[in-house]
Amino acid sequence: MFGRERIELKTPDQVRVMRRAGLVVADALAAVRGAVRPGLTTRDLDVVAAEAIRSAGATPSFLGYMDYPATICVSVNDEVVHGIPGDRVLQPGDIVSIDCGAIVDGWHGDSAITVVLPEADPADVALSDITERAMWAGIAALATADRLGAVGDAVEDVVEAAHAAGGPGLGIVQDYVGHGIGSAMHLPPDVPNYRTRERGPKVRPGMCVAIEPMLVRGDQRTRVLADDWTVVTEDGSRASHWEHTVAILEDGIWVLTAPDGGAERLAELGVAVAPLD
Ligand code: MF3
Ligand code: CO
């Protein structure tokens, strides 16, 4: 965790290209969100995302990454991340996490959403809502943080506060973490979603990171299926994954995979986004 590797710092112009990649990912996820319903296969969702990315003139980043065979990851119910699209037919009440990445002119964007299909179990809706809120709290922390460890503190604070307020006690997956991103999808530094003793590297202008909490309704331990990709909870509990790619700029932060740069959600948390234009 928090290795000492060199962190790639971007110029404002490079961040602007990353925003183009981020907006392609946002559009692709919006298309999938609009299409997803019971009766479709997870492969159908992959086709929707692939068409959105290609029609924008961008390149999917997951396809071929370490031989990954699809454009997106679709992780259903007890699947946490890296579910491979295929013949699985989506059922009413499924909780579906969709993760997507794209490349524009060599620069990457990476984002994930969770959708709960009707007839939704309210406990699954709560799981997704708390995971999304935890993601935004982690993003907001970047605006004021001295060190990257503040992200995990903020995520864990949201999970603890939800529990203390009478909500569910959720597990925070520790086997997978957020990451630096830019000229490649996965770059140093690691960004844990939980409190750590190490405070991590300094938060500096030019850093771009993917903030991606994965929360579960049971124990946080995971295992990988025989396909060598799909990550499931050990105890079979359901999972949610939300992710955004975020830039730290001289004057503040900008969420590169959100159409409004995160302005609306961050304003609720008292954070103003930095103008990128
Ligand atoms: N988007 C995932 C992440 O956030 C990576 C997907 S792995 C791939 O790190 F192989 F599917 F590309
Ligand atoms: Co990621």
Residue 208 CA: which ligand is closest? 2
Q: DSSP secondary structure string, the chain?
A: ----PPPPPPPHHHHHHHHHHHHHHHHHHHHHHHH--TT-BHHHHHHHHHHHHHHTT-EESSTTGGG--SSEEEEETTEEE-PPPSSPBP-TT-EEEEEEEEEETTEEEEEEEEEE-SS--HHHHHHHHHHHHHHHHHHHHHHH-SBTHHHHHHHHHHHHHHHHTT----EE--SS-EEE-SSSSSEEEEE-SS--SS--SBP-TT-EEEE--EEESS---EEE-TTSS-EEETT---EEE-BEEEEEETTEEEETTSTTTTHHHHHHTT-PPPP--
73 CB under 6 A from ligand 1? yes
101 CB under 6 A from ligand 1? yes
CA of 132 to the centre of ligand 1 (A): 18
Instruction: Please tell me the predicted confidence (pLDDT) of residue 1.
Output: 62
Which tens digits make up the pLDDT trace of 199-222?
999 999 999 999 999 999 999 999
Ligand 1 atom nearest to 185, measured from its CA: 9
Ligand 1 atom nearest to 179, measured from its CA: 9
Ligand 1 atom nearest to 100, measured from its CA: 1
CA of 243 to the centre of ligand 2 (A): 7
In this prediction, the residues of the chain whose per-residue pLDDT falls under 50 are none
Atom 11 of ligand 1: nearest residue by CA position: 62
Cut 0.75: pTM above it: yes
